[in-house]
Amino acid sequence: MPKYVSVAFEANLDTHYTYRVPENLREGALMGTRVMAPLGKSQRIGYIVREDPDAPKGIELKEIGSLVDKVAMITPPLMKLAIFVSEYYFCGLGQALRCFLPAPVRHRATDLGLVHVVKIKLSGPELEDLYKKCSERFWKKRNLLRCLLLKAAAPDQKTPLLLQELRERAECDLASVRALEKQGVIEIALEKHWSLRDDEAALPNVPPELTEDQKRAVDLVLEKKNEFAAFLLHGVTGSGKTEVYLHIIEEALKANKTAIVLVPEIALTPQTADRFRGRFGSKVAVLHSAQSDKERHNQWWRIREGHARVVVGARSAIFSPVSDLGCVIVDEEHEGSYKQNGEAPYYNARDLAVMRAKLENCPVVLGSATPSLESVRNAQIGKYTLLNLKKRVCASADIETELVDLNQEVLAAPQFGLVSRSLKSALANCLERREQAILFLNRRGYVPRLICPECYETLKCPSCSVPLAYHKRDNQLKCHLCGYTAEYLPPYKCPDCDVNLKPAGYGTQRVENLLHALFPESKIGRMDRDTTSKRGSHEKILGDFASHEFDILLGTQMIAKGLDFHNVTLVGVLNADISLNTPDFRSGERTFQLVTQVVGRSGRGAKAGKSIVQSYTPEASVLRCAVSGDWEGFVKKEMEERKEFNYPPFSHIIEIVFRSKEGKKAYEAAAKVQKKLAALSEGMTGYFYMTEVEEAYPAFAFNEYRWQIHLRVSSVMRAMETLLRPIKPFLKNTSSVKCQVDVDPV
């Protein structure tokens, strides 16, 4: 019962503040509890982050006004994780804590899950006797008594009987139920009840026999089940990584512990969740941002109160309030979508998964067919234990992979666009056999840009320095960065050359039209941001494809990984160069990962599979390694190049971006910080490299000019202590210049 507590507020403040706790609030003023406390001239919501035995001397303390919650919302292990997030990702502790509670949980009452339940107070024979004595004139009462008799005799008689459910079954009004309560037959009470929706039910599945590689991997992880250990599970696509996860989680549940499973894309969550529900039933909770506020609120409280023991979700699921954590799983650990963008803190959920497992003393498994080079390096130096699954579970399925030169196709068959002759023939054969195909193109819209045929200038967004894409379905030009839209009203002229701009390139809409023309009898589904904007659209598209409503599924990177359809025997990568030509030192790694993951969607059942990868640069070693499945060769070459220039994983990058509506002010703020960092770095130990002030990419976005500084350091914590915290006042947002510090950007 503390007299004084330290409170952190949801803002990028450098410190937390000490308050006196009124005597009537002391019993509930525990660490992790939210409180209303005075800050400046207003009352603000904050988090108790520490119980202070004594008050600071010489300071008159203000009192906490009230408790926001009846229970501590942040558990002690999560508080430790929040402190790490604050220190590593350069943000205030309250700002970090804000990530741990979904918005619906922060804004809604803690008792939202309360529902009316009916408790039967009489025995079965007593109910039966009452039913027999009840006249048929009182049909409502007889209906109610019959429903109560059925419930009392049912195998699930211990599960709550909802008042609403009873009324619907008995076809009666509330007054009839209340009449039975007055007679002492039943009792109506308010209780928390977390029922599954109809679409959350999953058919139970039978665990398959593990292969030798799978069994070895499971055994090695379970040897460390009561201590922290990090494992990198490298398994070729279709090698059964998910089954390894399921066996590890099963053992954790047997020990009365819990598990967290992270998946990179919301689109993957429904299919993954079904796999886990099929094994663990109602113990599974799902968390992701596409859920309604009510769903997220209820799922979070199911987890918090121990009704759900396995959490499956996207990156924010790493903050789930589970207790007695037994294992953490990160599927497709290489994915960039684990990195938080948009608002601070800019954390990486994969790295936080490792830290959370360390803080809670349990194993963490990072799984991928194409692990990130950071994880590979950690395995090489002994921080992680490498586990290998070298063979597909379905050994009878062969995959033939072909690399097609699009330069030759443009000359030989321009009428087919991005569908090469080889791919067209393979699609025709696939459709004839009543099998399915997945086609991947990481460009949505109809065409990605309008370009000048003479100077190659493009029509750009007025708010961003990126090309506008043409979307034919709604006849609009759209910016895929800020969301700007305008009606498509050609012709558009180049201001320098005074010639009409021409549509250039292919997006998913254009390829969909082309496929309809080439295969008019086939059914084609498209999955990109345009077709998945509505709630439930991910599930519907994937469900339709699973039930063969579509013959061909065309999509962007949301279809590139994790999907498991046994009737898919053909995969086409329409243009593998899109990710290869980006101005980023990771472009080769991303391309290898993307192509390998997409190719792995083919031949996952007993039928043989075929994959066709199309490129304008088929001689690129990255593509040749991806097509041949030479992971070791790619890693060796890429590691050598990274080491030569001291890029990650041989260093850490800290990116500092300055934004302003006035480009000069953003540049001057960046130059001032660059000068101070140069002075501070003179006595710094360890590796350090800093770029000059340079334009960020894109240089103009959301109506703001952007300048940046890149640091490469051997230790983030040392850089924070030596460089960034001493100049924190210069890194704060002002009315004219905004500053963003991003640690380990991807």
228-238: pLDDT as tens digits: 999 999 998 88
Same domain, yes or no, for 15 and 58?
yes
Is 199 within the bounds of a domain? no
Kindly state whether residues 239 and 331 are assigned to the same domain: yes
User: What's residue 426's pLDDT?
Assistant: 96
Q: Domain check: are 495 and 557 in the same one?
A: no
Whole-model pTM over 0.85: yes
Q: What's the pLDDT band for 202 if we cut at 50, 70, 90? A: low
Q: What is the pLDDT of residue 198?
A: 41
Residue type, 720: M
Q: Are residues 236 and 310 in the same domain?
A: yes
pLDDT average, residue stretch 212-227: 96
Six-digit token string for 102: 């979904």
What are the start-end ranges of the H helices in 575-703?
587-599, 621-628, 631-645, 663-680
Q: Domain holding 336: CATH number? A: 3.40.50.300
Same-domain pairing of 168 and 285: no
Same domain, 352 and 373: yes
The pLDDT of residue 199 is above 50:
no
Same domain assignment for residues 498 and 520:
no
For residues 668 and 205, the model is more confident at 668
Residue 359 has pLDDT above 60, yes or no: yes
Span 179-200, mean pLDDT? 73
Average pLDDT value over all residues in the chain: 91
Number of domain units in the chain: 6
pLDDT category, 114, cuts 50, 70, 90? low
Rounded average pLDDT over 365-375: 97
87-91, 135-139, 550-554: lowest mean pLDDT where?
135-139
3-state secondary structure of 175: helix
pLDDT tens column, 99-108: 999 988 888 6
3 state SS of 111:
coil
Interatomic CA distance for residues 327 and 249, integer angstroms? 7
Residue 680 forms part of a structural domain: yes
- Asked whether the predicted pLDDT for residue 394 surpasses 80, the reply is no
394 part of a folded domain: no
Q: With cut-offs at 50, 70 and 90, classify the pLDDT of residue 285.
A: very high
722: which DSSP letter?
I
pLDDT at 685: 82
- Diameter of the chain measured on Cα atoms: 95
Q: What is the distance between the alpha carbons of residues 338 and 262, in angstroms, rounded to a whole number?
A: 9
Q: Between 265 and 714, whose confidence is greater?
A: 714
Alpha-carbon distance of 129 to 341, in angstroms, equals 65
Q: Which residues contact 246 (CB under 8 A, 6 or more apart)?
A: 207, 275, 276, 279
What's residue 159's pLDDT? 66
Q: Is there a single domain that holds both residue 466 and residue 551?
A: no
The reply to whether 200 falls in a domain is: no
Structural domain boundaries, residue 730: 652-743
Residue 181: left if φ>0, alpha if ψ -120 to 50, beta else—which one?
alpha
The pLDDT, as a whole number, for residue 113 is 58
**CATH number of the domain that residue 714 is part of:** 3.30.70.600
Instruction: Using DSSP, state whether 492 is helix, strand or coil.
Output: coil
The pLDDT of residue 112 is above 60: no
- Average pLDDT of 377-382? 98
Tell me, yes or no, whether 627 and 606 share the same domain: yes
198 belongs to a structural domain: no
Q: How large is the average pLDDT for residues 204-226?
A: 91
Say what the pLDDT of residue 196 is.
52
The whole-number average pLDDT for the span 495-516 is 95
For residue 352, the model assigns a pLDDT of: 98
pLDDT of 55 strictly over 90: no
Per-residue pLDDT, averaged over 336-348, amounts to: 93
Does residue 234 sit in the same domain as residue 362? yes
At 401-456, the pLDDT tens digits run 999 999 999 999 888 889 999 999 999 999 999 999 999 999 999 999 999 999 99
Predicted pLDDT of residue 203: 56
Region 680-693: mean pLDDT is 90
Arithmetic mean of pLDDT, 242-267: 93
pLDDT for residue 269: 67
Please give the residue that has the higher pLDDT: either 565 or 245. Answer: 245
User: In this structure, which long-range contacts are made by residues 477-481, counting pairs with CB atoms below 8 Å and at least 24 apart in sequence?
Assistant: 477/450, 478/445, 480/444, 480/445, 481/698, 481/701, 481/702
pLDDT value, residue 607: 86
CB atoms within 10 A of CB 568: 23
- Phi first, then psi, for residue 650 (nearest 5°) are -90, 0
State both tokens at 342: 């948009």
Question: Which range among 5-14, 259-268, 271-280, 648-657 has the greatest average pLDDT?
Answer: 648-657
Q: What's the CA gap between 441 and 555, in Å, rounded?
A: 6
Q: Are residues 681 and 724 in the same domain?
A: yes
- The span from the CA of 98 to the CA of 104, in Å, is 12
Closest CA to 221 of 384, 359, 378: 384
The answer to whether position 80 is within a domain reads yes
Note whether residue 614 is domain-resident: yes
pLDDT band at 583; cut points 50, 70, 90: confident
Q: Is pLDDT at 459 greater than 90 in this prediction?
A: yes
**157 or 574, which is more confident?**
574
Name 20's bridge partners. 4, 63
Are 547 and 473 contained in the same domain?
no
pLDDT band at residue 156 using 50, 70 and 90 as cut-offs: low
Query: Which of 170, 193, 216 is a domain's end point?
Result: 193
Q: How many whole angstroms separate alpha carbon 303 and alpha carbon 319? A: 11
Of 497, 355, 302, 519, nearest in space to 425 by CA: 519
Last residue within a domain, chosen from 504, 531, 549: 504
Q: What percent of the chain has pLDDT over 70?
A: 95
Work out the pLDDT band at 679, boundaries 50, 70, 90: very high
- Helix, strand or coil, per DSSP, at residue 299: helix
Residues 439/554, Cβ–Cβ less than 8 Å = yes
Q: Is 647 a member of any domain?
A: no
User: Please, which pLDDT band fits residue 560 given cuts at 50, 70 and 90?
Assistant: confident
Report the chain's C-alpha Rg in angstroms: 29
